[in-house]
Chains A and B, each alone.
Chain A
Amino acid sequence: MPSLIDRFRKQDRKREQSGTFLALLAVLFSLSGPAQAEGESEIADKRFEFGGFGTLGVAQTDSNDAQFIRDQSQAKGIGKTPSAKLDSLLGLQVYFRATDSLELVTQAITRYGPQGNFQPDISWAFAKYALIPNNLTLRVGRMGTEFYMLADSRHVGYSYLTVRPPVDFFGELAFHYVDGFDLVGTLPVGDGVLKLKTFAGQSNEVAPIGKEIFSLRRNPMYGAYLDYQQGNWQWRATYAQMTFKHDLPAPVSSLQEQLAAVGASTAARAIALTNTTSRFYSAGGVYDRGPLQVQAMLSYTAHESHIYQNTKAGYLIGGYRLGEFTPFLGYSWSKSKSKELSSGLPDIPFHDLNVALAGALARVHTDQHTWSLGTRWDFRRNMALKAQVDMIRGKPESIFLYPTSTPKFDGKLNVFSLALDFVF
């Protein structure tokens, strides 16, 4: 597989090559395409499809002591002033069915991201090839990450009930896609359908840390999930991991240097990220029957580096359709465990350094829960209006999910959101 990953490294350096690469794949596979029956070609004739999705959202909180973000990929959060940057986005997709077995998909998305603007990004560009029709599918290119169930559709507001996926659960994620490949096996088992997916590749994203940019580029990512869908139920267990190839930017990087410079090399190494791995375990279930939908998920994240804290999180959301309205109630939580790490340096004369180290470790603590209450209103075709209130209740030191917070922050935050979701 290294050759494949190498190929994608080159793709990263020369983006323009990816089009050629996909076109080449298309030609290769179309040569081997089977002859089509008369009616089949009629259905297959619909080769190109354009589509899109988007959200116009406005949200505000009741405090300026902490800025609320949707996930770790957003540079700045929102406060008491109503803001459209948290949830608004637009996605466009081009789908091309090259043969019965080969599909090409490209999707671009513009949303408020790491650079602090709405710079568009190619979120996906992949070729999907049916190795064994219905049973085994290979995708190669850039795909959405499925670190958690539903994670790869978390920008498609129209597809779910709430204004945004629960932040306690999905907020820790800073990455959205992976460059590599995945293999999906599907098999009917009993009354249901069993799916096994494995993926491998590398991240090519960046995440904002304060005013700095934290590079996730070339971080290897691997994972797998087992999914079983039967009747009204869907179950999934997922494992995924990411190995870091870069350290955090300032102020953590300068802290590392200072610690190393005064001989506290153990502590300096402990807060380094390079060549450490973070592991994501999760399990989820969805119950969907007529007007009733319920979903629940649990996760555990373990980091080798001391600069992140191991975290448990979960959520439960239930909604019930009443005519055009689907009111919902959600509960989510996230709790991380502080890691003990001492510089080993005496407080005199290293007081400032010890305080900086303690601060860096405290920055990533979370201990909070959220009640969410709202409704979705399917007021016209392909459009939904949503209103939601989130009541976040946390310890004052629960600040990981907020990029900036002042010492006055007491851990409580109420978020009021309105969103118009659409697809076309």
Chain B
Amino acid sequence: MLKRAPLLLHAALFLLTGRDACADLVVVANPKSGIERLKRQEVIYLFMGRWRQLPSGTEAHPVDLGNDSTERAEFYRQLVNKEPSEIKAYWSRLVFSGGSRPPYTAESREELIRLISSMPGAIGYIERSQVDSRLRIVFELSGSP
């Protein structure tokens, strides 16, 4: 039941907004991260600051793309069905109550790729077409449980 929920949400989002929610985003990690795949729940925990450790035990460093990037808005829509304002509200609560901090924001896709390829614990999201051998796909947003 839980596993099917994201698919249903995804379908609902598409039907409700007519927005092309199918931008083909993937979550990528360093090939030396020690992880092959992540579950949706694990990706949510890492990016929402609930748990900052990869299943391999490596300290996780989630990396966001800039506020203006379409990938960022689309990533959180597909991951948790939240709009950028809701994600900001979520982090405002944590930041201004002394809780965990939001992911580091990369200035560009190039910086994101560079960070992930140089840090075993870095994790980010990117269009599938931009993935190269320096990155390992650990989660696919479209249709992944």
Contacts and interface: CB of A to CB of B under 8 A. Distances in A.
Interface of A: 37-40, 42-43, 46, 51, 53, 91, 93, 95, 105, 107, 124, 126, 128, 133-134, 139, 143-144, 150, 152-153, 155-156, 158-160, 186, 188, 191, 193, 229, 231, 289-291, 321, 324, 378, 381-382, 384, 423
Q: Which 10 A-B pairs have the closest CB atoms?
A: A290-B81, A39-B119, A159-B93, A39-B118, A378-B85, A153-B97, A152-B97, A159-B92, A153-B93, A156-B96
B7 interface: no
Contact of A39 (B85, B86, B93, B122): B122
Interface residues of B, number: 39
B142 interface: no
Contacts of A43: 61, 63, 104, 115, 119, 122
B51 to A, nearest CB: 5
Contacts of B80: 290
B67 A381 contact: yes
A95 B102 CA distance: 13
A405 B122 CA distance: 58
A381 B85 contact: yes
24 contacts: A37-B119, A37-B120, A40-B119, A42-B118, A43-B119, A43-B122, A95-B101, A107-B96, A124-B98, A134-B51, A134-B52, A150-B93, A153-B94, A153-B96, A156-B96, A156-B97, A158-B89, A186-B51, A191-B41, A290-B9, A291-B81, A321-B86, A381-B84, A384-B89
B134 interface: no
Nearest to B9: A290
Contacts of A384: 85, 89
Nearest to A155: B96
Given A39-B122, A186-B51, A381-B84, A134 B59 contact: yes
Contacts of B61: 39-40, 43
Contacts of A191: 41
B93 to A, nearest CB: 4
Contacts of A95: 95, 101
Nearest to B57: A134
B45 interface: yes
B128 interface: no
A39 B115 CA distance: 6
Given A38-B118, A91-B96, A188 B41 contact: no
A160 B82 contact: no
A152 B119 contact: no
Contact of B92 (A46, A139, A158, A188): A158
Given A156-B97, A289-B81, A229 B119 contact: no
Interface string B101-138: 10010000000001100111110000000000000000
A160 B93 contact: yes
A92 to B, nearest CB: 10
B93 A382 contact: no
B65 to A, nearest CB: 14
Contacts of A289: 9, 81
A262 B118 CA distance: 80
Contacts of B67: 381
Contacts of B96: 51, 53, 91, 93, 107, 153, 155-156, 159, 423
A46 B50 contact: no
Which of A46, A150, A290 lies at the interface centre, i.e. has the most chain B CB atoms within 10 A of its CB? A290
Contacts of B51: 134, 186, 188, 193
B98 A42 contact: no
Which of A155, A321, A324 lies at the interface centre, i.e. has the most chain B CB atoms within 10 A of its CB? A321
Contacts of B83: 321, 378
Contacts of A133: 53, 59
Contacts of B114: 39
B89 to A, nearest CB: 5
Contacts of B88: 158, 381-382, 423
Contacts of B101: 95
Given A39-B119, A46-B104, A51-B95, 14 more contacts: A39-B61, A39-B122, A40-B61, A43-B63, A93-B95, A105-B98, A134-B53, A144-B98, A156-B97, A159-B89, A159-B90, A289-B9, A378-B86, A382-B88
A47 to B, nearest CB: 12
Which of B13, B63, B85, B120 lies at the interface centre, i.e. has the most chain A CB atoms within 10 A of its CB? B85
Which of B45, B50, B53, B90 lies at the interface centre, i.e. has the most chain A CB atoms within 10 A of its CB? B50
B12 to A, nearest CB: 8
A91 B92 CA distance: 12
B45 A231 contact: no
